[in-house]
């Protein structure tokens, strides 16, 4: 079943993960969420993989949480609520813990938890026709687990507007806000993403791992502590030089 909902393909040192529930706009049910988490961790542990690409099958990237499962997430089923929240949190946290870079290829609408995945990658390329949004408030819920990363990436005012209005934005606006790195014509999205992935895959693996570790570390540190962490990383890198 997991192979059905998540396609895994290696293009040399690049592993492509394709969410494969196109009839549901790749909505995240428990099975797909768990499969993604397992596949991302697996790619990071695989010595043959140097970079990961995440995209969606069909016209959408990811519609967010599968609303069909919400009927069971009630106070009477507290254990199910806790399990789903923990699984979702771990999925959105895994990107920053990986040693290998992840590029998201946003091929279509990325909503709610799908928007969180789109921004979760280290780099993001967005098809020019795609849209991204956080519509949770329109359903009477909160964009909760995806909010910390959103605020860190685009700032308070823009982030609050997105989560408070629930309005989707187009690729041009997403680029202006710094949510994505590039806008790509729809038909060229995967070719350009794979070209970028190939560049990243060619980088020294220890250097890339150290870059990612330091990058996410300094995000959370005061400036002086961040400089000290950079100094320590600089000293460690001497051992990586060939």
The DSSP secondary structure of 160-222, one letter per residue, reads: HHHHHH---EEHHHHHHTTS-SEEE-GGGHHHHHHHHHHHHHTS-HHHHHHHHHHHHHHTTS-
Q: Taking 60 as the threshold, does the pLDDT of residue 193 lie above it?
A: yes
CA distance 94 to 175: 24
Query: 17: helix, coil or strand?
Result: strand
Cut 0.85: pTM above it: yes
Q: What count of other Cβ atoms lies within 10 Å of the Cβ of residue 240?
A: 12
Return the bridge partners of 196, or none: none
What are the two backbone dihedrals, phi and then psi, of residue 190, each rounded to the nearest 5 degrees?
Answer: -70, -35
Active centre residues (catalytic): 136
Report the pLDDT value the prediction gives residue 234, as an integer from 0 to 100: 84
Mean pLDDT of the chain: 92
Query: 142: helix, coil or strand?
Result: coil
Report the pLDDT value the prediction gives residue 242, as an integer from 0 to 100: 45
Report the pLDDT value the prediction gives residue 82, as an integer from 0 to 100: 76
pLDDT tens readout for residues 7-52 = 999 999 999 999 999 999 999 999 999 999 999 999 999 999 999 9
- On whether the CB atoms of residues 205 and 49 are closer than 8 A, the answer is no
Q: Taking 90 as the threshold, does the pLDDT of residue 237 lie above it?
A: no
Could you tell me the residue ranges of all domains in the chain? Answer: 2-200, 204-240
CA distance 151 to 163: 10
Residue 1 pLDDT level (bands cut at 50, 70, 90): very low
What are the two backbone dihedrals, phi and then psi, of residue 107, each rounded to the nearest 5 degrees?
Answer: -85, -15
Q: What contacts 198, CB < 8 A, 6 or more positions away?
A: 12, 13, 14, 51
Just give the CATH number of 2-200. 3.90.226.10
Strand 6-11 and strand 182-184: the pairing is unpaired
Structure tokens of 101? 């870079």
Q: Please compute the mean of the pLDDT values over residues 189-209 and round it to a whole number.
A: 97
CA distance 236 to 210: 9
Q: Taking 90 as the threshold, does the pLDDT of residue 63 lie above it?
A: yes
Q: Taking 50 as the threshold, does the pLDDT of residue 187 lie above it?
A: yes
CA distance 169 to 165: 11
Return the bridge partners of 56, or none: 19
pLDDT tens readout for residues 68-115 = 766 665 566 556 567 878 999 999 999 999 999 999 999 999 999 999
């Amino acid at each position: 079943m997991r192979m059905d909902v998540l396609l895994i393909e290696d293009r040399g040192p690049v592993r492509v993960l394709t969410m494969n529930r196109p009839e549901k706009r790749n909505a995240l049910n428990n099975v797909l969420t768990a499969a993604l988490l397992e596949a991302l961790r697996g790619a990071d542990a695989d010595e043959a993989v140097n970079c990961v690409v995440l995209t969606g099958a069909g016209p959408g990237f990811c519609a967010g949480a599968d609303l069909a499962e919400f009927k069971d997430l009630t106070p009477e089923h507290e254990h199910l609520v806790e399990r789903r929240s923990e699984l979702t949190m771990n999925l959105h946290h895994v990107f920053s813990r990986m040693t290998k870079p992840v590029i998201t290829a946003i091929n279509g609408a990325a909503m709610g938890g799908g928007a969180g995945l789109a921004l979760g990658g280290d780099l993001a390329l967005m098809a020019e026709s795609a849209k991204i949004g956080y519509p949770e408030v329109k359903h009477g819920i909160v964009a909760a687990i995806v909010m910390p990363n959103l605020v860190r990436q685009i700032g308070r005012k823009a982030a609050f507007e997105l989560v408070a209005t629930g309005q989707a934005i187009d690729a041009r606006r997403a680029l202006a806000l710094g949510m994505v790195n590039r806008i790509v014509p729809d038909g060229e999205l995967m070719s350009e993403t794979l070209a970028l992935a190939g560049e990243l895959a060619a980088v020294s693996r220890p250097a890339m791992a150290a870059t990612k570790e330091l990058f996410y570390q300094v995000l959370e540190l005061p400036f002086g502590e961040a400089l000290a962490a950079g100094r320590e990383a600089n000293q460690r890198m001497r051992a990586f030089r060939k």
